[in-house]
């Protein structure tokens, strides 16, 4: 399993500082819905404390948790790719404090500072690859019973 990648610590210090200038501190109550699948993805968060579950609605009465995120984790990546809608829903599992970023402002900064933009895209891609690997392992465990060594 790969090591979890944290967006803010993965960026070089100068780029992290530029990104932090756009951060807004927010909080979500326990059991508070942060966003719904299909909604407009116009922001993202870096979790400071607490836990968030990503979920998928499988029937009109049932949601399945597909991932759990905690301190340092990136919440939301759909803002980076068309059609800019959430692929999953997100709910605060406990009280959550986070840095919130307006996607349009971050994208504008990425155009202004192409090195930051490239670092940001690469880091988000690494995060997604890591999460895909974790999900793959869970699926193998669930459906095969045991992962091959």
Please tell me the predicted confidence (pLDDT) of residue 1.
40
Please tell me the predicted confidence (pLDDT) of residue 133.
85
Please tell me the predicted confidence (pLDDT) of residue 149.
52
Please tell me the predicted confidence (pLDDT) of residue 121.
94
Block means of pLDDT (10 residues each) for the chain, 149 residues, are: 75 94 98 97 98 89 89 95 95 98 97 95 92 76 63
Contacts for 143 with CB less than 8 Å, ≥ 6 apart: none
Cα separation of the two ends of the chain: 12
DSSP assignment of the chain equals: -PPPP-HHHHS-HHHHHHHHTT-EEEEE-TT-EEE-TTSB--EEEEEEES-EEEEEEEETTEEEEEEEE-TT-EE--GGGSTT-B-SSEEEESS-EEEEEEEHHHHHHHHHHSHHHHHHHHHHHHHHHHHHHHHHHHHHHHHHTSS---
Please tell me the predicted confidence (pLDDT) of residue 53.
95
Please tell me the predicted confidence (pLDDT) of residue 140.
74
Q: Is the pTM of this model over 0.85?
A: yes
Please tell me the predicted confidence (pLDDT) of residue 14.
93
């Amino acid at each position: 399993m790969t090591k979890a990648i944290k967006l803010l610590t993965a960026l070089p210090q100068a780029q992290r500082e530029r990104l932090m200038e756009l951060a807004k501190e927010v909080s979500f109550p326990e059991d508070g819905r942060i966003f719904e699948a299909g909604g407009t993805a116009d922001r993202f968060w870096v979790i400071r404390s607490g836990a968030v579950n990503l979920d998928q609605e499988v029937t009109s009465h049932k949601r399945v948790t597909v991932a759990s995120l905690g301190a340092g984790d990136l919440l939301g990546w759909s803002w980076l790719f068309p059609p800019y809608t959430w692929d999953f829903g997100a709910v605060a599992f406990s009280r959550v404090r986070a840095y919130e970023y307006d996607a349009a402002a971050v994208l504008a900064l990425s155009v202004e500072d192409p090195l930051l933009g490239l670092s940001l895209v690469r880091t988000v891609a690494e995060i997604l690859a890591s999460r895909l690997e974790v999900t793959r392992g869970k699926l193998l465990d669930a459906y095969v019973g045991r992962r091959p060594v």
